[in-house]
């Protein structure tokens, strides 16, 4: 059976943008921005998207298109080593972990959508969010969200994913744009813009490490890198596309939507009495925005529109999470797409139900576990692209572009030498922070550089020995 592919360039871009744009932009980005000093966070986040996110995204595209396979098969066949296949399994795990909490948040969003029709949460937004966020109701809506996700994935690349995202993404962008214009008229808009856009150097200096870690985690999460999603999606595209160009467009659109969401959510938060944007946490979107909608004329209709948009954005991301393990079972174990989807959905039905009942499990999966998995995943991908694929990666990078190999070489140097220690630095700090251990940053930095270079040199040595063996 021939492997499926996207029908058009725009289909691929929209599907990848659909994966990138999701709750990460609309729920997590405004919350992170509010918690980390507004403009300070924005600037670091944009820098990391540019310097780490985009090159990392392109590395995943290079691996995916080169192999024409999902991550496990791609790493295994391109390297000729079963060990790399095992490294690839981390993406299957990442997909399942991601979906196990994302589907719960997706369930909250669906619930808010339905509750908007009656305005059920308008009177006591805080209490309402508290009463629905965990428990049987949350589990029920998680199952509903998961069922819709599975339905689309079962339909396959063209019939399901491409068709759904081609319709969803333009609607999402248009509606967010309209909401942002409307939010500009709110009483707190000026203060919100100031917080969001005026750079505060003193704040950055005082909180540099925290902002850096949050910004790095957010950059990976929002671009969907490190999970293998983008390897999987790129495995369905042709050689006539420019990977660096597509990657840049995708990152630009994704970042644009995140900033747009900031222009919607922050003015709402700043216009709401009794809400402190900096401490409103993961409930920021729900509580703050709900309070605002409750007080506005025509609030129910606006809320319906808003949560409809967020549901679409969440779905186009959740399908990309489920696609990772589905593509693995289809490509590597010969499963029927429908059977694989049903089996994996049944698995997430259980794990998601656990996190729908336990805020602790939810918090651990959504926080440290996902950060660790994505950072480790991206670390493996960039090392693989730069040192196992090596010159082939540069060739794949330039394929379908008008670039000479110079830009490709610079990119390879960046992902092969600069990114590995940087990613390890955030990984080590993240793990230490999670364990509650203290270590001077300089030591962590030295350890990251040392381990990073050790991994890079040994991977490079093994790869060149194998190349020599194959040539002999």
Contacting residues toward ligand PHE, per CB under 6 A:
19-20, 22-25, 98, 221-222, 224, 227, 229, 317, 320-321
Is 24 or 408 the residue whose CB approaches ligand PHE more closely?
A: 24
End-to-end CA distance of the chain: 34
Q: How far is the CB of 309 from ligand PHE (least distance, A)?
A: 13
Q: How far is the CB of 55 from ligand PHE (least distance, A)?
A: 17
Q: How far is the CB of 257 from ligand PHE (least distance, A)?
A: 9
Q: How far is the CB of 434 from ligand PHE (least distance, A)?
A: 19
Is 89 or 189 the residue whose CB approaches ligand PHE more closely?
A: 89
Is 98 or 138 the residue whose CB approaches ligand PHE more closely?
A: 98
Q: How far is the CB of 426 from ligand PHE (least distance, A)?
A: 16
Q: How far is the CB of 280 from ligand PHE (least distance, A)?
A: 19
Is 237 or 463 the residue whose CB approaches ligand PHE more closely?
A: 237
Q: How far is the CB of 194 from ligand PHE (least distance, A)?
A: 26
Q: Report angle CA 238, 392, 231 to the nearest 5 degrees.
A: 50
Pull the structure tokens for residue 70.
């999902």
67 and 74 in contact (C-beta within 8 Å)? yes
Residue at shortest CB range from ligand PHE? 24
Q: How far is the CB of 222 from ligand PHE (least distance, A)?
A: 4
Is 34 or 463 the residue whose CB approaches ligand PHE more closely?
A: 34
Q: How far is the CB of 113 from ligand PHE (least distance, A)?
A: 17
Q: How far is the CB of 258 from ligand PHE (least distance, A)?
A: 8
Is 102 or 263 the residue whose CB approaches ligand PHE more closely?
A: 102
272 and 283 in contact (C-beta within 8 Å)? no
Is 204 or 330 the residue whose CB approaches ligand PHE more closely?
A: 330
268 and 196 in contact (C-beta within 8 Å)? no
Instruction: Say how far apart CA 89 and CA 72 lie, in whole Å.
Output: 6
Is 165 or 320 the residue whose CB approaches ligand PHE more closely?
A: 320
């Amino acid at each position: 059976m021939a492997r499926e592919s996207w029908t058009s360039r725009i289909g691929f871009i929209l599907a990848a943008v659909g994966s990138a744009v999701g709750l990460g932009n609309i729920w997590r980005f405004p919350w992170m921005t509010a918690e980390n000093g507004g403009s300070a966070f924005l600037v670091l986040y944009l820098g990391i998207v540019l310097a780490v996110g985009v090159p990392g995204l392109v590395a995943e595209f290079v691996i995916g298109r080169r192999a024409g396979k999902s991550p496990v098969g791609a790493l295994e066949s391109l390297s000729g080593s079963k060990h790399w296949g095992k490294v690839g399994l981390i993406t299957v795990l990442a997909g399942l972990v991601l979906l196990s909490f994302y589907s719960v948040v997706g369930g909250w969003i669906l619930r808010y959508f339905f509750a908007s029709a009656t305005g059920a949460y308008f009177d006591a937004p805080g209490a309402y969010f508290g009463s629905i966020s965990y428990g049987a109701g949350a589990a029920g809506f998680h199952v509903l969200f998961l069922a819709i996700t599975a339905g689309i994935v079962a339909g396959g690349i063209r019939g399901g994913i491409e068709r759904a995202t081609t319709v969803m993404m333009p609607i999402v962008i248009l509606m967010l744009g309209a909401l942002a214009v409307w939010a500009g008229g709110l009483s707190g808009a000026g203060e919100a813009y100031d917080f969001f856009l005026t750079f505060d150097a003193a704040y950055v200096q005082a909180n540099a490490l925290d902002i850096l870690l949050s910004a790095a985690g957010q950059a990976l999460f929002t671009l969907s890198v490190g999970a293998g999603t983008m390897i999987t999606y790129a495995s369905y595209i042709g050689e006539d596309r420019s990977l660096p160009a597509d990657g840049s467009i995708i990152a630009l659109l994704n970042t644009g939507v995140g900033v747009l969401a900031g222009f919607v959510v922050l003015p709402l938060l700043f216009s709401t009495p009794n809400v402190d944007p900096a401490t409103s946490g993961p409930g920021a979107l729900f509580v703050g925005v709900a309070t605002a909608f409750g007080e506005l004329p025509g609030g129910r209709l606006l809320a319906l529109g808003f949560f409809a948009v967020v549901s679409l954005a969440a779905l186009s991301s959740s399908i990309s999470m489920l696609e990772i393990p589905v593509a693995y079972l289809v490509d590597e174990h010969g499963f029927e797409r429908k059977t694989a989807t049903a089996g994996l959905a049944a698995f997430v039905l259980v794990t998601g139900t656990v996190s729908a009942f336990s805020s602790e499990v939810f918090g651990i999966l959504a926080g440290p576990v996902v950060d660790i998995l994505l950072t480790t995943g991206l670390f493996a991908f960039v090392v693989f692209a730069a040192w196992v694929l090596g010159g082939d990666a540069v060739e794949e990078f330039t394929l379908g572009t008008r670039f000479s190999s110079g830009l490709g070489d610079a990119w390879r140097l960046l992902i092969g030498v600069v990114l590995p220690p940087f990613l390890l630095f955030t990984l080590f700090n993240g793990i230490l922070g999670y364990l509650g251990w203290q270590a001077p940053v300089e030591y962590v930095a030295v350890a990251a550089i040392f381990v990073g270079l050790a991994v890079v040199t040994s991977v490079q040595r093994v790869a060149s020995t194998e190349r020599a063996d194959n040539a002999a």
